[in-house]
Amino acid sequence: MRPPLALALVLSIALPAHRTDAREVQYVRSEGLRAELVVRGLRSPVFVTAPAGDPRLFVLEQPGRIRVVRDGKLLERPFLDLTDRVGFGGERGLLGLAFHPLFARNGFFFVNYTDKDGDTQIVRFKAGPLSDVADRASASPVLTVEQPYANHNGGMIAFAPDGMLWVGMGDGGAGGDPHGNGQDPATLLGKMLRLDVDHPPYTVPADNPFVQRSGARAEIWATGLRNPWRFSFDRGAPYVYVADVGQNAWEEVNVAKVTDAGLDYGWNAREGLHAFRAPPLHRGTTDPVLEYGHSEGCSVTGGYVYRGRAMPALAGTYFFADYCRGWIRSFRWSEGRVSDRREWNVGPLGSITSFGEDATGELYVTSDDGTVHRLASAPPAKPRARAGSRR
């Protein structure tokens, strides 16, 4: 089966792709990075992460397994096998993993998957912090969200700097958000959720923006999302980066302060910076900081701001990719502006399903060819010898 973004590329409304416009700038073609193979032979890897201070890597296989990479080797026994509970296929499957910030003490981690009925399940499990196998029997349900269609499940979960768990929810699927979920505060679909999971199953933080609004779901932190497949928090600055997969014309990356509550990212009134529905155009939305049209790709794969130690020249650089084209691009966000746009020549990686970080902030890429690669500095190219030279 294809990884989860595949159906987002096909969509249920097959309109012609739109070309980019003059507002987009060119990306500088850049060398200096290489993709080092970490492991191969995985089945539909869709994410990689690690707990704080842990040298291992944990890789999600979309059919329902979490695999462990220890000392560069893929362990045969899964950390957790949920294949009997996970509904896998297309965009469905095991889609998200987040270790509690205090995992080394409490052993808690959280997963996001679609069950056999296609509904989203957020579940907490427990493992010994040094164990390579989790306790399946420790499953503790956190949240269930019914899904009306088979696509746009979102899937990303991550802990914010304040310890709250964020959950990216797609609009529920089909094409064009037929139920208007993105702009409906009464549903969790098409939203970013913010939960306090330290009081099981969860409580709603008192400063969530819809807590006092009648008819709205208090779990909501932001609205107007189509399919935020991957989002991330900058380890070195108070920003969240949300890459929202577009419909038929525009892919977008949003950047906001982590404390900015109640933002509306525009879907389904807008796709990127452009009107999607007939007028009147929805007002009060937050513009993406970057968009690209479907002449350049067709499904954005959000990444991370690099904060590792191995490549200090790239500190503060946000990396992202396109699932269809397989390119990796980057930019810097500073003082409300995008700068230093680059497209990196790291060689062919197939269709990039996700980025991930290890415990030290180094960046990884998962691909639908069953591999995980680490992004690393490439040695400078050797100059070609002149004709007649012995060097």
Sorted by where each begins, the domain ranges of the chain are 6-18+30-377
Whether the ω angle into residue 268 lies within 30 degrees of 0, i.e. cis, is yes
Q: Which two tokens stand for residue 208?
A: 């969530």
pLDDT beyond 70 at 15: no
Tell me what the mean pLDDT of segment 260-284 comes to: 86
Q: Is the pLDDT of residue 19 over 90?
A: no
Share of the chain above pLDDT 70, in %: 89
Q: How confident is the model at residue 1 (pLDDT cuts 50, 70, 90)?
A: very low
Share of the chain above pLDDT 90, in %: 87
Q: Is the pLDDT of residue 389 over 50?
A: no
Assign 277 a pLDDT band (cuts: 50, 70, 90): confident
Domain spanning 6-18+30-377, CATH class: mainly beta
Selection from 186, 187, 194, 158 nearest residue 171 by Cα: 187
For residues 15 and 248, the answer to whether their CB atoms sit within 8 Å is yes
**CA atoms of 123 and 120, how far apart (whole Å):** 10
pTM: predicted TM-score of the whole model, two decimal places: 0.92
Q: CA-CA distances (angstroms) from residue 307 to 29, 314, 316, 326?
A: 22, 8, 6, 23
At residue 284, the pLDDT reads 80
Has residue 63 got a pLDDT over 70?
A: yes
Q: What is the DSSP letter of 282?
A: P
Closest CA to 376 of 391, 360, 388: 360
Q: In this predicted model, what pLDDT tens digit does every residue of 101-135 receive, in sequence order?
A: 999 999 999 999 999 999 999 999 999 999 999 99
The pLDDT, as a whole number, for residue 383 is 60
Asked if 355 and 328 count as a contact pair (C-beta separation under 8 A), the reply is no
Tokens of 318: 């946000």
What number of other Cβ atoms are within 10 A of residue 281's Cβ? 13
Amino acid 26: pLDDT? 84
The encoded tokens of residue 374 equal 């680490």
Q: How confident is the model at residue 283 (pLDDT cuts 50, 70, 90)?
A: low
